[in-house]
Structure 1
Amino acid sequence: MKRMDVKLYTVGQLSNLTKVSIRTLHYYEKLGLLNPIRDENNQYRLYGDRDILRLQQIAILKKMKFKLSEIAVILDQNETLVDESSHHAVSAWTQSLEGQLSIVRKQQEDLRKVEQLLFSTLYSIRVTGQVNLEEMLHFIKELDQPKDRSRGALLREVFSPEELEVMPINKTGPVEMEWADILREIHNHIHEAPDSNASQKLAKRITEYALLLFNGDEQLAEKYWEYIVPEDGQSPRVYGMTSEVMRYIEKILERWG
């Protein structure tokens, strides 16, 4: 039976408008993802607002690499929420889109975490010139660990939102990776005298890098430096920035200045 006061589309029309093949639409129906009504005269499939809403959700979730079996569960959960609250079209679409936004944001957060872990692993290889199996094991472990909220809270206590925008925290660009090259050079020359030619070349490079990294804000650079200094017996707050490395940097910068 036809739904009253609702625009309905045949499978051909829906396929033409969405560029989803007729075969795929039939397959979605077979899986129970779509449930078109049948024209009472010729038994043609007819798709209405509910079908379009579900098809839109399927398209988004497929783009996010969800399996069709997973999509079916999400669709059923969303439909239950909509049915329990309101049958009004605007309300249904609003709730569905808000639910999809929530899923997208969660996936973005998960992907950012993976990005940072991948970057950190590449960074460590760039610093040391070798693969550290212990760090690979740590990478695997961290993938399933909840995000450390305490570190973020501590940063917000120390730095303003404007300062955090500038600082090299959770950033994975070429500028941040450049420090890995500098750190490797530091490790190569850490036992040289602070006033040696190699040490002073490093001091110049570090000074220029800091100006670039902190947009010329020397006060913020100093504030960040003080923040990352590890306390006695404490692990480095930033990879590779041990007490020994930081003392060497301070000595060569004193001579450079």
Structure 2
Amino acid sequence: MRRYRRFSLYNSPYPAHDTGHGIDLYPETNVGVSPVAGEVLDTRTVGCPDRPYAADHDHLILIDTGDAVARVLHVEPCVEAGETVAVGDPLGGMVRSGFFGQWVDNHVHLEFRAPDRNPYRATGSLPLAVDCPVRGVGWDGTGRVVDAGETYAVLNAPAHPDPGPEPVSFVSLASDDGVPLDGGLPHYTGGGRLDRAPAGADGQASTLSLLGTRVGTARGRTVTWDDVAVTVDGERITGISLFASRESGFGVKLVSRPSAGEPSFAVGERVSVAVDPVAEPLRLG
């Protein structure tokens, strides 16, 4: 995981992310480095949703890892069937796919499929376990905008607990009781917890809260979001983008779409974020 500055199991509407069966990996550059070793079985160009900010096609790379077939998406392949790749080898340049929300950075998507399952279908991948500890970082809901785009704003809080020039530990925004969170709150239906869920918790429900408001119910590591809305200084936005990061400038990423009547933000602006129950939550996927 040290080759990547960020990762997420749940922050996507793509079917494999619904229960954390796929992972998005964010390299340091726009080169899609291979997260696995093995033989390239096939590469294929596929269609994707037509977005004005993205390409209308994507790419699938299939790699035989021995025990499973790895599915890699969002990389324009510079490799061919029959080639052998090692972990960290370049697979090609990452593409800005129409599968992305506009606020999503380029990344490598990874899933694993059993050898006897169709590797070309969008569903049917194996559960993923990330052997990488993630520390939850608490937050009081306030911060200053340090980066902003057409559909997002990044705050300077919460800070990475081990700043330094290049932190090695991954952190994520924590629930009120310290659970590191993952997903799009509440704009993607499901989310996740990035710690090790309590033993036997798959059948037991536990509630999670953020900024004093109950936001979801966890069964095992998968979270179903409650009907909530995120507001900034009283104005409703799409939500909060949740992921694990080892970037020194770690901070909350707000998703706001002015084209949908939501506010925009400027670098240097100080904001206050709240989460409240609502009758009609926004769901994008």
Q: TM-score range by the shorter chain?
A: under 0.3
TM-score (norm 1): 0.24
TM-score (norm 2): 0.22
Q: Relative CO higher for 1 or 2, CA cutoff 8 Å, sep ≥ 6?
A: 2
**Structure label with greater radius of gyration:** 1
